[in-house]
Amino acid sequence: MTAIRHLGIQDYEPIWRDMQQFTVDRTPETEDELWIVEHPPVYTLGLNGKREHLLNTGNIPVIHCDRGGQVTYHGSGQVVIYTLLDLTRLKLNIRQLVSLLEQAMIDVLAAYNIDSKARADAPGVYVGTNKIGSIGIRIKKNCSYHGLSLNNNMDLRPFDHINPCGYADLKVTQLADLGIIIETYELANRVAHALTTALHR
């Protein structure tokens, strides 16, 4: 089974360090966990992220972390779910995991009559050409950490000050802008449920 932990609003770096420690300490018997969290405003730059994609970050902190991918923004009103999973036990490779995370978001959005798709050339979930969900993963000991973010009802303006995921002129959207008003914790629970269902089919 997969345990779901609700962590509330937490600063990014302590949660990142906790994920690292959880992954280092885990054994083949350790239960998988999903961590649901919201972060105060922060930009995160992936392992091979290029600082040139940070355009005008102002007073929002920038943290260079160890996930894949380029730069993204986290803030209040965004669903963040960290996926601490044993890929050997689940018989998943990294590509299958990314597809599973994308599909969970797509399925939840479809329940709100939002048509979204994944893109082979740029991981994440898109409504038309606008990005609504992002994925960044790290694998260590064949276990994953980091995870996904889904924009619900947040201030999107900080995305204007970066090249989101390394793409200049990539626009982002969110459920609130698509006419769906839902509490972030409720949306997070739905995505977590979709994930656990997919993981244990």
Return the active site residues.
Answer: 165
Q: Is 149 annotated as a binding residue?
A: yes
Q: What count of Cα atoms within 13 Å lies in the side-chain half-sphere of residue 113?
A: 4
Select from 185, 200, 180 the least CA-distant residue to 81. 185
Q: Is 68 annotated as a binding residue?
A: yes
Q: Is 99 annotated as a binding residue?
A: no
CB atoms within 10 A of CB 8: 8
Q: What does the alpha-carbon distance between residue 141 and residue 146 come to, in Å, rounded to a whole number?
A: 14
Q: Is 136 annotated as a binding residue?
A: yes
Q: Are strands 125-127 and 130-140 parallel, antiparallel or unpaired?
A: antiparallel
Q: Is 74 annotated as a binding residue?
A: yes
Q: Is 134 annotated as a binding residue?
A: yes
Q: Is 76 annotated as a binding residue?
A: no
Q: Is 182 annotated as a binding residue?
A: no
Q: Is 148 annotated as a binding residue?
A: yes
Q: Is 69 annotated as a binding residue?
A: yes
How far apart, in Å, do the first and last CA atoms of the chain sit? 11
- Do residues 19 and 40 make contact, with C-beta atoms less than 8 angstroms apart? no
Angle between helices 94-111 and 184-199 (to 10 degrees): 130
DSSP character string of 8-59: EE--HHHHHHHHHHHHHH--TTPPEEEEEEE-SSEEEE-TT--GGGB---TT
Q: Which residues are annotated as a binding site for substrate?
A: 67-74, 134-136, 147-149
Q: Which residues are annotated as a binding site?
A: 67-74, 134-136, 147-149
